[in-house]
Structure 1
């Protein structure tokens, strides 16, 4: 497997041609309550974001990649590494898979590629994620890929249905076997 690509998907830099799909995803108010978005993004702001996205993770402390379906060469989602801390060798993760591409194994593949990139190329010691407790699909995805629940943030998300708990999951890079 090549870094950031397998036979179905590739993780790639954001391109100016991604503006319309980013605009649609970022302005989907149904997803705002699991993030920090409180208002829509303009196309101008997103254009500026794309123009600055060439800066590296050490500069921005974030890396956002498009999950591209290789067969149709369309954006199928986003993979984020953020809160990057080079001193402590850790980063948070976030993922969005467009509803049109869900239930096709794309999230699992994107997670696997990101873990490989984070642990082997960036030399991270750990990756962590915050997942709403009721999001069983995401919990299952991360748990089956070596993440462990480390705690619960009570009433962490204010939603239209009231406050919701968030689970903190963490995966620590497997230690190399000591050679005698």
Structure 2
């Protein structure tokens, strides 16, 4: 599926070999403020998650892709969530390990997932939720013409303070084929 291949990255399904990567990512407390996680995950739970990750997005309403380099080194995760085929929308969230940020790899991954969602899932819109202090994500989503649709005031509590959250939407141009 060429849609999930970029110039420098690939998006692929979770594999059993991703257990250690997923364990370190999910249990990194620096990422918890953007993921909504508050407790660590055990390897046992993550093994079960990987085992069940084959579920179709129409059944699970979500799907996690691993962002990999061309030599299959995992460098991040991009999730589709709250998939609603009736209303033709899906949410997207992206996480890149810090040493891979600001190198264009997140842009490649987001472009691939946008193409995938519009082409294969036939959604009308993709949305993202970004705190107002997450300047890297704001820059990334705005680069791809996601529009600010609203702000949820004091929506996320982290680092002993409330943060506003921006709702971004990318609505498919119905004038394109």
Task: Tell me which interval the TM-score lies in, with the shorter structure as reference length.
Answer: over 0.9
Q: TM-score normalised to the size of structure 1?
A: 0.95
5+ residue gaps, structure 1: none
5+ residue gaps, structure 2: none
Q: CA deviation at 1:7?
A: 2.2
Contact kept in structure 1, 2:6 and 2:109, CA below 8 Å: no
Q: Given the superposition, is the C-alpha separation of residues 137 and 155 from structure 1 closer, same or farther in structure 2, using an over 3 Å criterion?
A: same
Contact kept in structure 1, 2:132 and 2:163, CA below 8 Å: yes
Other structure's SS at 1:39 match:
coil
Contact kept in structure 1, 2:130 and 2:138, CA below 8 Å: yes
Alpha carbon RMSD of aligned pairs, Å? 1.3
Aligned to 2:143: 144
Aligned to 1:120: 119
Q: CA deviation at 1:177?
A: 4.8
Aligned to 2:34: 34
Q: CA deviation at 1:18?
A: 0.3
Aligned to 1:3: 3
Q: TM-score normalised to the size of structure 2?
A: 0.96
Aligned residues: 177
Other structure's SS at 1:134 match:
coil
Partners of 1:73 and 1:102 in 2: how far apart?
Answer: 17
Partners of 2:145 and 2:7 in 1: how far apart?
Answer: 22
Partners of 2:66 and 2:37 in 1: how far apart?
Answer: 19
